[in-house]
Chain A
């Protein structure tokens, strides 16, 4: 029982790390059109990538500080919302990262099939 628990905790940590790595790319890919945080979470969840709120907002802030996103408050809806969108630099980074990602998935596919033989 103890072992199972430890294993599942271990698995959770590893899968979290794996997801964390792709999170930036996932968020950037969906911000070619402006979205507010919750809309981005819903969109990603809809497409099969569940992200906690506590992860996405700090991430958006960080990407904005790095100049990859721009944001502005919109007060027209039922409540004020901060909308994020790719900056020019963010757009370029997205293209490069997407290319890296495609290459990486090919390599990973190969490695997983190959199994070291």
Chain B
């Protein structure tokens, strides 16, 4: 029944988690009934394949539970559309709140509640409109998120490997924050810095201002990568390799940032990693910039270490998966012989 498990698992990937259990259980039960009725209690692998061919591609089976007539966005694109729409709404809301927060914090600007609501009423439908328009164009050109061969072959269903599942929540959070940071770095780089106290003096970070282009590229590529990951919805050789390359670039940018912070700090006689502690003692004399830059350097250093570890883990997983594949091919050959 392995093929049935794989089929059901694959259908489940296109169905929202909360609806999945019950619906897949019924699908399993109906497949069992059909097989038993047609071929008796122990159907052969090829008989199961025939039934699955008849049932149709997993994506189509899942889409049949979400009927849409006269598609602006059809069943093939709809799950992705729904997800991107949510992400965009979250990012727009986040950017709006961030803009208000910064305005309030830095400039002491206050906003009337009605103004805030009216700007949301404008910005959210506006953003959703653009998403819809984009997907209508994709629909018009019949774009499909998956490259499909002409005929649907159940034998080629991927194995169930939890390792290859994309953690959608994590990816979406990454995407939302990526877009938020990108908006910040692109449009308000002068607002990235530190503040002495609410309403107090604000110091922009000079190193970030100097390197904003490199940071923008890293964030943009990161957003693009997360979109590809959601689109493919599975870790594959290409996505794993892409992630490693992207992370190597990130390490390069983070290394540069740490280095430039060190240079800036060293020029002020506070280059050592632990000089930050001495700088805190100097706060009373107004040494805010030193403390701020030390804090930024620590943050980038931690990010650098985490990203480096991530690269190693990604390489390990890549190698392990490739080895596993080789083994399963060898096992199959032994069995045939």
Q: Which residues of A contact B (CB under 8 A)?
A: 36-39, 42, 53-55, 57-58, 61-62, 73, 78-82
Q: List 19 A-B contacts (CB under 8 A).
A: A36-B29, A36-B33, A37-B26, A37-B29, A37-B33, A38-B34, A53-B34, A53-B55, A54-B55, A55-B64, A57-B64, A57-B65, A58-B65, A61-B23, A73-B25, A78-B32, A79-B29, A79-B32, A80-B25
The list of the 3 closest CB pairs from A to B, nearest first, reads A38-B33, A58-B65, A58-B64
Contact A61 B65 (CB under 8 A): yes
Closest chain B CB from A22 CB (angstroms): 17
Q: Does B61 contact A (CB under 8 A)?
A: yes
Contact A38 B30 (CB under 8 A): yes
Chain B positions 63 through 84: 1 when the CB is less than 8 Å from some CB of chain A, otherwise 0: 0110100000000000000000
Contact A57 B30 (CB under 8 A): yes
Q: Given A62-B67, A79-B32: A57 and B27 within 8 A (CB)? A: yes
Residue of B nearest to A54 (CB): B64
For window 15-29 of B, CB contacts with A under 8 Å fall at 22-23, 25-29
Instruction: Give the contact-size bracket for chain B.
Output: 20 to 34
Contact B67 A58 (CB under 8 A): yes
For window 28-80 of B, CB contacts with A under 8 Å fall at 28-30, 32-34, 36-37, 55-56, 60-61, 64-65, 67
Closest chain B CB from A53 CB (angstroms): 6
Chain B residues lying within 8 Å of A57, measured Cβ to Cβ, are 26-27, 30, 64-65
Contact A80 B29 (CB under 8 A): yes
Residue of A nearest to B41 (CB): A78
Chain B residues lying within 8 Å of A54, measured Cβ to Cβ, are 55-56, 60-61, 64
For window 154-184 of B, CB contacts with A under 8 Å fall at none
Contact B33 A81 (CB under 8 A): yes
Chain B residues lying within 8 Å of A80, measured Cβ to Cβ, are 25, 29
Tell me the bound Cα distance from A81 to B31 in angstroms.
Answer: 11
Contact B26 A42 (CB under 8 A): no
Chain B positions 182 through 220: 1 when the CB is less than 8 Å from some CB of chain A, otherwise 0: 000000000000000000000000000000000000000
Q: Given A53-B34, A54-B55: A82 and B29 within 8 A (CB)? A: yes
Closest chain B CB from A38 CB (angstroms): 4
Tell me the bound Cα distance from A42 to B30 in angstroms.
Answer: 12
Tell me the bound Cα distance from A57 to B19 in angstroms.
Answer: 14
Residue of A nearest to B65 (CB): A58
Closest chain B CB from A110 CB (angstroms): 30
Residue of A nearest to B51 (CB): A53
Chain B residues lying within 8 Å of A55, measured Cβ to Cβ, are 64
Chain B residues lying within 8 Å of A81, measured Cβ to Cβ, are 29, 33
Chain B residues lying within 8 Å of A53, measured Cβ to Cβ, are 30, 34, 55
Residue of B nearest to A62 (CB): B67
> Told that A57-B65, A78-B36 touch, could you supply 6 new A-B pairs with CB distance under 8 A?
A37-B29, A38-B30, A54-B60, A55-B64, A58-B64, A80-B29
Tell me the bound Cα distance from A77 to B22 in angstroms.
Answer: 18
Tell me the bound Cα distance from A58 to B36 in angstroms.
Answer: 22
Chain B residues lying within 8 Å of A36, measured Cβ to Cβ, are 29-30, 33
Residue of B nearest to A81 (CB): B29
